[in-house]
Amino acid sequence: MFVPLAHAQNLGETLQECPGTLTGSTQPQQIHLQMTDDATVMNVLWATEGRSNGEVEWNGQTATSADYCYNHDVAFHMASMTDLVPDEEVTYRVGSGGDWSEEFTFTPIDSSARHFEWISIADHGDSSEAMDVTEAIIADESAQMVTVSGDIAYADGEQSAWDYWFQEQQDSMTSIPWVTAVGNHENEPGYEFSPYEHRFDSDGQIESEIFWYSRNVPGVHMVFMSTEHDYAPGSTQYSWLEQDLSSVNRDETPFVIVYGHKPMYSSNSYHGSEIELRNALEELYFEHRVNLVIAGHDHFYERTWPVSCVQNGTYVNGANPQHIRGIEGDRFDSYMPPIHLVIGIAGRSAYEELDEPQPEWSAYRENNSYGWTRLVFDGDAGELRFTHHRIDGTIGDQFIIQEAPLKSEDDGGILGIPGFGVTLPLLAMFGAAMRRLR
Ligand SMILES: [Fe+2]
Ligand SMILES: [Fe+2]
C-alpha cells in the first residue's frame, strides 16, 4: 500500500500505512542511483527511518522527492535529476527533513561513446564472499554500471536484510547505476515482489509496474526480463520482448544482451536448464541475434558455446563452433547463436554437483569459486570482451565477441592477420581430435 506524495494532501497521510515512521532519524541512507531510459534524467532513491519530505540538489538545481513506503517501517524517497549532459560529471546530495547526505558525484552515460565497461553479477546476498564482491565493485573505478541477474539481497521476508544490503552497496550505487532483473528470491513470503518494486525503480512509478524493460548503453542494447512472470508466447512479456528485440538499431548498438534470472542452459544438477524457458524464448533470441544471455539461479559459473536447438532439437554450433582460440580467450562473432552464461557466483553457497558428462553445448564451467564478471565494449576494435573474475584475484574464463563476421580460412587470413589461414585448419584438426577423445 502506498500513496505517492504528489497525490497526497500531507505527509502523514502519505505514510499512514507505516506507523513506525512517525519517529526516527531523517538522515538519508541506502542512497542509490536508478538509471532511466533518458540519458538526461537520473533518478535517485533513498530511505529514512522517520517520515519526511525529501529533496535532491544537483548542478544548482533542486527537485522534491516523492515520499512513500510499503509495509515496512522505513520511509522511501525518489527524486529525478534532470537536464543532465552526457559525460559531464554531476555533483549531488539528497536531504530529508533538513538532514543532508554527503555530496556524491556521477557521470551520465554517453550512449554515443566508443568505450563502455561494466560489471555483471547474480545471486549476491551478504555472505563474506558477497562482501568481497562488493568491495571489488567499489574498488573498480572503470566500471560505469552494474547489472544483477536476480536473487539480489535474499531478504526472503526479512525487510531489514534489504536495508542492510543497500547500505553495503551505497558507495558504489551512489556513483554508478545498478540495473536489475528480478529473481525468485525477490518474490518474498508475505510480500511477493512489493519490496523489489518499491526499492528499485525501473519505470519511475514508485511502485514499478514492469518487470521487463531495456536500456541502451554504448554499443549494447540490454534487455532485463523476468523469468518469474509469464513469458510464454501470447503473454504480455513475450509480446514486449518481440517488439523490443525487433526495434534494436544494430548500427547504434551492435551487441544485444538479455539479462534474466533462470538459465535456459545450465549443467548444474541443483536446478539445471529451464526447459520451459528455452522452449518459449530461444527461437526469439536466435532470430533477433541476441549475443549473450546472462542468468544466475544455479550458484556456479558456466559458459556455453554459441548454441541454439531451435531446429528440431538439433544443436547448431553446439560444440566447438568456428572460433579462434587466442590469448584473451575464445573469439566469436555477433552473427553466431547466443552464448548463455550462468554467473550465480556473487556470494551464495556454491552448488557443487554437476551433470556428467559435460553436455556438448557447455564450453566452460566452475563449481567451487565466487566472483563477478566484467564486460567491455570497445567500439574502435568492434568487439565486446568478457572476463570472469574470482574473488582470489584470478581470472577463470574469458572470451570475445566481435561485431564483424569471422572470416573462413578460405579468405586467406582471418581479421586481416596473415597466418591465421594456416592456423585455423590446425585448430580444427585439434578440435576434431579432442572431440574423439571425449
Ligand atoms: Fe540464487
Ligand atoms: Fe534463484
pLDDT tens string 291-310: 999 999 999 999 999 888 86
SS (H, E, C) 99-138: EECCCEEECCCCCCCCEEEEEEECCCCCCHHHHHHHHHHH
Taking the CA of 125 as reference, the closest ligand is 1
Under DSSP, is residue 281 helix (H, G, I), strand (E, B) or coil? helix
* Class level of CATH domain 111-406: alpha beta
Q: Is 84 exposed, middle or buried (0-12, 13-18, 19+ CB in 10 A)?
A: buried
> Residue 220 burial by CB count (10 A; 0-12/13-18/19+): exposed, middle or buried?
buried
**Mean local confidence (pLDDT), 4-12:** 44
**374 Cα: distance to centroid of ligand 1 (angstroms):** 19
pLDDT of residue 389: 98
| Residues whose CB is less than 8 angstroms from the CB of residue 369 and which lie 6 or more positions away in sequence, other chains included | 301, 345, 350, 390, 391, 392, 396
- For residue 106, report the distance from its CA to the centre of ligand 1, in Å: 30
User: Who contacts 305 (Cβ-Cβ below 8 Å, separation ≥6)?
Assistant: 317, 318, 319, 320, 321, 339, 361, 362, 363
| Confidence band, pLDDT 50/70/90 cuts, at residue 408 | low
* Ligand nearest the Cα atom of residue 260: 2
Query: Under a CB-based contact definition with an 8 Å cutoff, are residues 175 and 104 in contact?
Result: yes
List where CATH 2.60.40.380 sits in the chain: 1-108
Residue intervals in the chain for CATH 3.60.21.10: 111-406
Q: What's the gap in Å between 48 CA and the centre of ligand 2?
A: 29
- Note the ligand closest to the C-alpha atom of 127: 1
Q: How far apart are CA 41 and CA 189, in angstroms?
A: 34
- Ligand number, closest to the Cα atom of 261: 2
**Nearest alpha carbon to residue 290 among 356, 246, 235, 349:** 246
What pLDDT was estimated at residue 34?
96
| CB of 365 closer than 8 Å to CB of 302 | yes
Task: Give the distance (Å) from ligand 1 centre to CA of residue 262.
Answer: 9
| Ligand with smallest separation from the Cα of 123 | 1
CA of 266 to the centre of ligand 1 (A): 13
| Residue 388 CB burial class (10 angstroms; 0-12, 13-18, ≥19) | buried
Among the ranges given (25-39, 115-129, 318-332, 415-429), the one the predictor scored with the smallest mean pLDDT: 415-429
Class of residue 157 by CB neighbours under 10 A (exposed 0-12, middle 13-18, buried 19+)? exposed
Return the percentage of the chain with pLDDT > 70, whole number.
85
Q: How far is the CA of 308 from the centre of ligand 1 (A)?
A: 25
Q: pLDDT per residue over 156-194, tens digit each?
A: 999 999 999 999 999 999 999 999 999 999 999 999 999
The CA 323 to ligand 1 mean position distance, Å, reads: 32
Q: Which helix (H) or strand (E) holds 63?
A: strand 61-64
Please tell me the predicted confidence (pLDDT) of residue 313: 52
Task: Give the separation between CA 424 and CA 371, rounded to whole angstroms.
Answer: 33
- pLDDT attached to residue 323: 67
pLDDT digits (tens, 9 = 90+) for 59-68: 999 999 999 9
Residue whose entry in the numeric block shows the C-alpha cell 567499489: 138
Are 375 and 341 in contact, with CB atoms under 8 Å apart?
Answer: no
Residue 349 C-alpha to ligand 1 middle, in angstroms? 9
Report the separation in Å between the CA atom of 133 and the middle of ligand 2, taken as the mean of its atom positions. Answer: 18
Going by DSSP bridges, is the β-strand pair 146-149/115-121 parallel, antiparallel, or unpaired? parallel
For domain 1-108, give the fold.
Immunoglobulin-like (2.60.40)
Question: pTM to 2 decimals?
Answer: 0.90
Give rounded-to-5 percent helix, strand, coil for the chain: 20, 30, 45
Whether the Cβ atoms of residue 360 and residue 315 lie closer than 8 Å to each other:
yes
Q: Flag the least confident range among 15-24, 273-282, 316-325.
A: 316-325
Q: How far is the CA of 125 from the centre of ligand 2 (A)?
A: 11
Answer whether residue 427 shows pLDDT above 80: no
Dist. CA 159 → ligand 2 center (Å): 18
pLDDT classification of 85: cutoffs 50, 70, 90: very high
